[in-house]
Structure 1
Amino acid sequence: MNWLIEFFGTAANWSGPSGIPARLLEHVEFSAVALLLSMIIAIPLGLFIGHTGRGGVVVVVAANAARALPTLGLVVLIVLLVGVGSTWPVLAPLIALAVPPILVNTYEGIRGVERDLRDAAYGMGLRGGQVLLKVLVPVALPLILLGLRIAAIQVVATATVAAYVGLGGLGRYIIDGLATKDFPSTLGGAVLVVALALLVQLGFAVLQRAVVSPGVSRRVKSR
């Protein structure tokens, strides 16, 4: 507790390019860009294979296999390939980490919609894309959001690896603190990462309440 008081109570930790607000903003930027790029890759692919059933097993197996990739190992590999002059050594591993849960949950959410609902939509005259967007996506939205929430929390927690390649973010407090035996800084950085992850969790809970139809929510709970 004394270490936390020392870290958060030091005025110098709240100002300048190495201050908590600046490091927090850097961490959020890394995480947001990685999550956005992951969504651009995974959601359309998940919707396509879930709706058409083409290549579903292969894509899901590959996505699950990607979860076993060592994030820090990818960081080191990409640094060796492209150097440290860009954010790609951090973004690429974070994207590799975030794509699988988004892709798998999107695919499973669309595939899991009851056949009766699909048939009823086609019977009403809807076609292909209309069935997907107006029927399947709204019903699958809770599972899609779950995938996004899992990916976002993993990305926020793992973005600390940016410090390994000299970039910013909250990981600087943890990595630099361990290197210099500045344990208040290490503990403070860890607490900030945990707090940010909890805030992301809360944000997705609020988002789900706002965008998911109450009827769909009751249907999911009754399963």
Structure 2
Amino acid sequence: MKLHLNNAFDNRIDLPENILNKAMTKRFKKGDILFNKGDQSKNLTYINRGIVGLVNLAPNGHESLLRVFGEKFFLGYRSFLVGENYHASAIALSDGELLIFPYTGAEEVQAHLPELFLHLTRMIARDLRIAEERFNDITGKRVVSRIIETLIFLKQRHPKYQWTRREIGEFCGAKTETVTRALTKLEKAGLIEKQGREIHLKDIQELLEYSEGQEVLSH
């Protein structure tokens, strides 16, 4: 079995048919809760189509965005591999489709799909490396990446609301002028369109890939 990895973004992976055929398909609708913080991680889950936000939900209902995932990403795989409960909640930001693999732990994946297991361990190693390199960076992500993921999250969750630059900045911990510069940069790159306060996202998957590219360039 040969896995086709995206060269630029280590954690995106094109799964071959012989692996895809082992999974059960589960469709989801925008707004669905795919799992809640504290739920037991029972299966290995792959985003075949759609956009998913990983968030912390405070008791007062406030949402804190951790990350946005597009297609071809494994969702919650670290919790699955170590047998821990999910540390955050996953909310569907669009309609889409999950592939659920019928394995209940790392040992079963290693036994049935050893090359996939190797890829998952490499993903963890990459995540650890990035975490170590970011240790002295309290913001965690490059500001452009944070703004992109915040834009996707807010526009998908509240599509009719016209978010101000200040509100976007408050949500992701960026200054208003930084948000303005980032939006100008994204518009010049052809990824968004601005009409007053209204911001139109042309292609969410391309935005996510651009965001991942910003992260790669920073390390």
Q: TM-score, normalised by structure 1?
A: 0.24
Structure whose residues are more often strand by fraction? 2
More helix by share: 1
Larger relative CO (CA 8 A, sep 6+): 1 or 2?
A: 1
Larger Cα Rg: Structure 1 or Structure 2?
Answer: 1
Q: TM-score, normalised by structure 2?
A: 0.24
